[in-house]
């Protein structure tokens, strides 16, 4: 990448390690020869009224040897196993100045229009249902609608999540995250800009800063 026209925001090793320790043991269980890994350069940071409230971080699996009969049997018997979902999204809420595991987002199915996803709490009880657009519709301002929550705690809802490819300067939020040792700013001054997502609930706008390395306008 040239001319510094990219963002490079990554969760710190220390922060990722602290989050890993908070994942419930049952969710960290996996077939033999696989290890859960949290991806420090893939996720989102959520702000409400300029206040940090949560982080979202993707997981992956590291295979250490060939698939065994024991692993095959494990997969067949496990009804709810995030090991089968590389790229599963984990949410951690900030409560009393400490992050606690909140929920896990798991892919369910896909049709010609949507990829469906369910969110489960720490007890693996269903909280919400989402549908992700395979061809996101574009709004008049150039943002795209990436997904929609259509069920929340058993009730029908319609909450749209939008994404902007036009980076904005979020110096205040990014400096705070650096100060708290939550992220590393890998690209200096340009890392003050990043892409972001939004949703609105009861008139309040919720901001999601996008972590990772990507081109920006």
pLDDT band of 41, cuts 50, 70, 90: confident
Q: Residues of 167-176 as b/e, b for ≥16 C-beta within 10 angstroms?
A: beebeebbeb
For residue 84, the model assigns a pLDDT of 37
How large is the average pLDDT for residues 141-158? 94
The two tokens of residue 81 are 């196993």
Lowest mean pLDDT among 22-26, 58-62, 80-84, 96-100: 80-84
For residue 93, the model assigns a pLDDT of 97
Question: What is the Cα Rg of the chain in Å?
Answer: 18
Is the dihedral angle over the CA atoms 27, 63, 93, 149 positive or is it negative? Answer: negative
Residue 14 · residue 181 · CB < 8 Å: yes
For residue 59, the model assigns a pLDDT of 84
- Which pLDDT tens digit goes with each residue over 10-21? 999 999 999 988
- Which pLDDT tens digit goes with each residue over 98-140? 999 999 898 888 899 999 999 999 888 999 999 999 999 999 8
CB atoms within 10 A of CB 43: 27
Pairwise pLDDT comparison (148 vs 40), residue with the higher score: 148
> How many DSSP H helices and E strands does the chain contain?
4, 12
Residue 180 · residue 12 · CB < 8 Å: no
Q: Residues of 3-23 as b/e, b for ≥16 C-beta within 10 angstroms?
A: eeebbbbbbbeebbeebeeeb
Q: What is the largest CA-CA distance in the chain?
A: 53
- Looking at the DSSP assignment, which residues form a beta bridge with residue 141? none
Q: In this model, does residue 35 exceed pLDDT 80?
A: no
- Looking at the DSSP assignment, which residues form a beta bridge with residue 210? 44
Residue extents of the structural domains in the chain = 6-105+164-215
Q: In this model, does residue 74 exceed pLDDT 50?
A: no
């Amino acid at each position: 990448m040239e001319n510094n026209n990219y963002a490079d925001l990554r969760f710190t090793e220390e922060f990722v390690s602290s989050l890993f320790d908070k994942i419930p043991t049952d969710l960290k269980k996996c077939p033999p020869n696989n290890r859960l890994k949290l991806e420090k350069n893939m996720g989102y940071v959520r702000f409400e009224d300029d206040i940090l409230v949560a982080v979202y971080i993707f997981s992956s699996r590291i295979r250490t040897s060939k698939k065994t009969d024991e692993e095959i049997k494990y997969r067949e018997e496990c009804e709810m196993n995030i090991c089968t979902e590389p790229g599963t999204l984990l949410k951690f809420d900030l409560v009393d100045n400490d992050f606690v595991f909140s929920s896990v987002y798991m892919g369910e199915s896909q049709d010609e229009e949507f990829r469906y996803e369910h969110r489960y709490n720490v007890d693996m009880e269903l909280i919400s249902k989402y549908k992700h657009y395979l061809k996101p519709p574009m709004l008049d301002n150039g943002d795209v609608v990436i997904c929609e929550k259509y069920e929340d705690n058993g009730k029908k809802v319609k909450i749209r999540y939008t994404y902007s490819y036009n980076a904005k300067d979020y110096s205040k939020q990014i400096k705070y995250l650096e100060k708290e040792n939550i992220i590393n700013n890998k690209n200096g001054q340009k890392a003050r800009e990043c892409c972001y997502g939004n949703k609105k609930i009861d008139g309040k706008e919720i901001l999601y800063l996008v972590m990772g390395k990507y081109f920006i306008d």
